[in-house]
C-alpha cells in the first residue's frame, strides 16, 4: 500500500496527536494500521503578513502519521476561513443562502489559499501517494494540484450537506467550483440526497464528475466502553447526584445555527407549557460550546439562546428547580460519553446536518437493558438509517414537545425495541468502515 496523504483545513494540534479524540483522527489511526500517512493542513495559528509571507511548513511525525502544517496570515484567516468558508459556503451548503455574506474579494482569497496549499504540498509528495482532501474549505484544491502537474489519484470528501442546484446557483462561482471538481477521481458525500444534488449540479454545468455515498460513523466499541467505564468518574457521580433521580434530557452541539438550538429551546418551552406534569421533575442539559465566535451570525445566535434560556428558566423555574442547564463551554469527551449514558432522552434536532455523530454516540453509549430514547431531526444525514428514533421536524415546536412527552413516558419494552433497531447500523457503519471504503475506492480509481 502506498502512502495516504490527507489534507484538511485543520490538522490536529500537537497535544492531540498521541491520543486522538476527533472523528477523522481516530478513523485514520485505525484504517491505517499498516500504511503510513502524511497529514497536511493549517496549524490553527495565525501570523502577521510579514512572518507568514513564505508559509514555512512545520513537520512532525508521531507513530505512522507525519503532520505537516502551515500558518495562515491574518488576512488569509479572515478571507479564506472566516468569510468565504464559514460565512458563505457553510450557510449555503446548509440551505441558508439568505445568511450568505457574499463579497467577491473573499472568493479570491479562498482561491489563493487553495493554490498556496497546493504549492506547499507539492514538494512533500512522493511516487505512489494517494491524496484524500476533506471538506468545503478545499473544494478547488484538487484542480490546483492538477494544474501543478500532480497525476496521483485524488479523492474529495464533503462532511456537510450539498444543496440542490436551485440553491447552489446563488453562489456566483457555482459553475467554476463544480467544474473544478472534475479533478477528483473519487468524490464522497454523506447521503443519497447529497449525491443526487451534487450530481444534478455536475450535469447542470456540463461536468463529468460523479459523487458517491460514503456515510461516516463513530468508533462504537470504544465509545460504549468509555460510557460505561466513565460512570465511576467523580464528575459523572456529581451530575448523577445533582439529578436526584429526575429524568434527564441531554443536547450536545457546537453553538451553530445549523443545529436548530433556538427551535429546540422553543420545543422544550412548549413541552413545559403543554405538559405541566413534567415541571419541576425533568432536567435538560444543553452543552453548546461557542464556535466561530467572530462570525456575526454566531454572535447573534449566542445572544438569542442566552435570552431564551433566561426566559424559560425565569418563567418556569422554581427556587429549587432549574428547567435548562445551559453551558456554552466544552465538556471533556471522557465525561460526555457517560453523560449520554445517564440521559433518558437525547435531543438531536439540527435543521440540516451532514451526518450528526452525536446521534450515533448517544445510541452507542446506552445500557441495552435500560436504554434512553433518541429524538432525531428528519434533516440530519443520520436520519435515513435511524428511523427507529422518535423522528421530528425541528421547525415544529409542538412536535418536539409531543416527542419529549412520549420519550419520557415510554415503557422499557418499547425503548429496548427501538434501541435494538438503532444499534446494528451504528456498529455496521463506523469511522473505520468509512475511511477504509473511501481509501479502497481511491485505490481502485488508480488501477482503472
Annotation says 253 is catalytic: no
In angstroms, the CA 12 to CA 4 distance is 16
Exposure of 435 in the CB half-sphere (CA atoms within 13 A)? 22
User: Which stretch in 202-210, 264-272, 350-358, 387-395 sits in contact with ligand ADQ by CB under 6 A?
Assistant: 350-358
Residues 157 and 80: their CA atoms lie apart, in Å, by 19
In terms of CB distance, is 157 or 184 closer to ligand ADQ?
157
Residues 28-57 that bind ligand ADQ (CB under 6 A): none
Min. distance of Cβ 448 from ligand ADQ in angstroms? 26
Whether residue 395 lies in the annotated active site: no
* Nearest distance in Å: CB 281, ligand ADQ: 25
Considering the complex, state which of residue 181 and residue 357 has its C-beta at the smaller distance from ligand ADQ. 357
User: For residues 75 and 65, is the Cβ–Cβ distance under 8 A?
Assistant: no
287, containing H or E segment: strand 283-287
Q: Where are the beta strands (DSSP E) in 86-209?
A: 130-134, 154-157, 186-189
Q: Which stretch binds ligand ADQ (CB under 6 A): 33-41, 141-149, 326-334, 366-374?
A: 326-334
In angstroms, give the least distance from the CB of 331 to ligand ADQ. 5
**All 3 cell numbers of residue 33?**
494500521
Q: Considering the rule CB under 6 A, would residue 210 count as an interface residue with ligand ADQ?
A: no
Task: Work out which of 12, 91, 230, 354 binds ligand ADQ, going by CB under 6 A.
Answer: 354
Kindly state whether residue 254 participates in binding ligand ADQ, applying the rule CB under 6 A: yes
In this structure, how many other beta carbons lie within 10 angstroms of the beta carbon of residue 184? 25
Can you tell me which residue has the cell 449540479? 201
Among 89, 92, 97, 160, binds ligand ADQ (CB under 6 A): 160
Q: Is 355 in the site for ligand ADQ (CB under 6 A)?
A: yes
Short-list 343, 224, 241, 367, CA closest to 286? 343
Say whether residue 331 binds ligand ADQ (CB under 6 A): yes
Q: CB 245 → ligand ADQ: shortest distance, Å?
A: 25
The catalytic residue among 106, 219, 256, 353 is 353
Q: If binding is defined by CB under 6 A, does position 216 make contact with ligand ADQ?
A: yes
Is 163 a binding residue for ligand ADQ by CB under 6 A? The answer is no
Pick the binder of ligand ADQ from 23, 153, 201, 247 (CB under 6 A): 23
Q: Please give the residues from 268 up to 287 whose contact with ligand ADQ meets the rule CB under 6 A.
A: 287
Beta strands in 158-247 (DSSP E): 186-189, 211-213
Do 69 and 39 contact (CB within 8 A), yes or no? Answer: no
Part of the chain binding ligand ADQ (CB under 6 A), chosen from 71-79, 354-362, 406-414, 415-423: 354-362
For residues 259, 395, 376 and 324, what is the CA-based torsion angle, rounded to 10 degrees? 70
Q: Is 333 a binder of ligand ADQ (CB under 6 A)?
A: yes
Query: Which of 47, 272, 358, 400 touches ligand ADQ by CB under 6 A?
Result: 358
| Residue 402 contacts residue 409 (beta carbons within 8 Å) | no
Q: What is the DSSP letter of 323?
A: S
> Given strand 37-47, what is the order of strands in its sheet?
58-62, 65-73, 37-47, 4-10, 130-134, 154-157, 186-189, 211-213
All cell numbers assigned to 18: 498521541
Q: Does 361 bind ligand ADQ (CB under 6 A)?
A: yes
Q: Which of residues 391-410 bind ligand ADQ (CB under 6 A)?
A: none
DSSP string, 22-89: SHHHHHHHHHTSSS-EEEEEEEEEEE-HHHHTT-PPEEEEETTEEEEEEEEEHHHIIIIIIIIIIIII
Q: Which residues are catalytic?
A: 159, 353
Residues lying near ligand ADQ in the complex (CB under 6 A) are found at: 23, 159-160, 216, 252, 254, 287, 289, 330-331, 333, 336, 353-358, 361, 381
Amino acid at each position: 500500500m502506498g502512502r495516504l496523504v490527507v489534507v484538511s483545513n485543520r490538522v490536529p494540534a500537537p497535544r492531540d496527536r498521541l491520543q486522538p479524540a476527533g472523528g477523522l483522527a481516530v478513523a485514520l489511526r485505525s484504517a491505517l494500521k499498516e500504511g503510513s500517512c502524511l497529514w497536511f493542513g493549517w496549524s490553527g495559528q495565525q501570523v502577521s503578513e510579514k512572518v507568514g509571507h513564505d508559509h514555512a511548513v512545520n513537520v512532525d511525525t508521531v507513530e505512522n502519521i507525519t503532520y505537516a502544517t502551515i500558518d495562515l496570515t491574518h488576512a488569509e484567516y479572515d478571507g479564506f476561513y472566516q468569510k468565504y468558508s464559514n460565512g458563505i459556503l457553510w450557510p449555503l451548503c446548509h440551505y441558508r443562502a439568505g445568511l450568505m455574506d457574499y463579497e467577491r474579494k473573499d472568493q479570491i482569497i479562498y482561491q489563493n489559499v487553495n493554490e498556496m496549499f497546493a504549492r506547499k504540498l507539492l514538494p512533500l509528495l512522493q511516487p505512489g501517494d494517494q491524496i484524500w482532501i476533506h471538506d468545503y474549505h478545499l473544494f478547488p484544491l484538487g484542480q490546483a494540484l492538477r494544474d501543478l502537474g500532480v497525476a496521483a489519484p485524488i479523492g474529495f470528501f464533503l462532511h456537510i450537506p450539498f444543496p440542490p442546484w436551485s440553491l447552489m446557483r446563488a453562489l456566483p462561482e457555482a459553475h467554476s467550483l463544480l467544474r473544478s471538481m472534475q479533478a477528483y477521481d473519487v468524490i464522497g458525500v454523506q447521503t443519497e440526497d447529497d449525491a443526487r444534488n451534487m450530481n444534478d449540479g455536475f450535469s447542470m454545468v456540463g461536468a463529468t464528475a460523479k459523487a458517491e455515498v460514503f456515510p461516516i460513523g463513530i468508533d462504537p466499541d470504544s465509545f460504549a466502553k468509555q460510557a460505561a467505564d466513565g460512570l465511576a468518574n467523580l464528575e459523572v457521580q456529581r451530575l448523577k447526584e445533582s439529578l436526584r433521580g429526575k429524568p434527564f434530557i441531554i443536547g450536545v452541539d457546537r453553538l451553530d445555527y445549523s443545529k436548530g438550538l433556538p427551535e429546540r429551546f422553543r420545543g422544550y418551552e412548549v413541552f413545559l407549557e403543554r405538559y405541566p406534569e413534567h415541571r419541576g421533575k425533568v432536567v435538560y442539559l444543553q452543552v453548546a460550546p461557542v464556535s466561530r465566535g467572530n462570525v456575526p451570525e454566531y454572535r447573534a445566535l449566542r445572544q438569542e439562546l442566552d435570552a431564551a434560556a433566561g426566559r424559560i428558566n425565569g418563567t418556569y423555574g422554581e427556587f429549587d428547580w432549574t428547567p435548562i442547564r445551559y453551558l456554552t463551554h466544552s465538556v471533556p469527551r471522557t465525561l460526555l460519553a457517560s453523560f449520554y449514558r445517564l440521559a433518558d432522552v437525547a435531543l438531536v434536532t439540527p435543521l440540516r446536518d451532514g451526518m450528526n455523530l452525536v446521534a450515533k454516540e448517544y445510541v452507542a453509549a446506552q445500557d441495552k437493558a435500560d436504554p434512553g430514547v433518541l429524538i432525531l431531526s428528519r434533516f440530519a444525514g443520520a436520519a435515513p438509517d435511524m428511523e427507529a428514533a422518535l423522528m421530528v421536524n425541528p421547525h415544529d415546536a409542538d412536535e418536539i414537545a409531543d416527542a419529549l412527552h412520549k420519550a419520557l413516558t415510554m415503557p422499557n419494552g418499547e425503548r429496548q425495541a427501538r434501541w435494538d433497531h438503532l444499534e446494528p447500523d451504528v456498529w455496521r457503519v463506523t469511522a473505520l468502515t468509512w475511511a477504509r471504503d473511501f481509501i479502497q475506492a481511491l485505490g481502485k480509481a488508480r488501477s482503472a
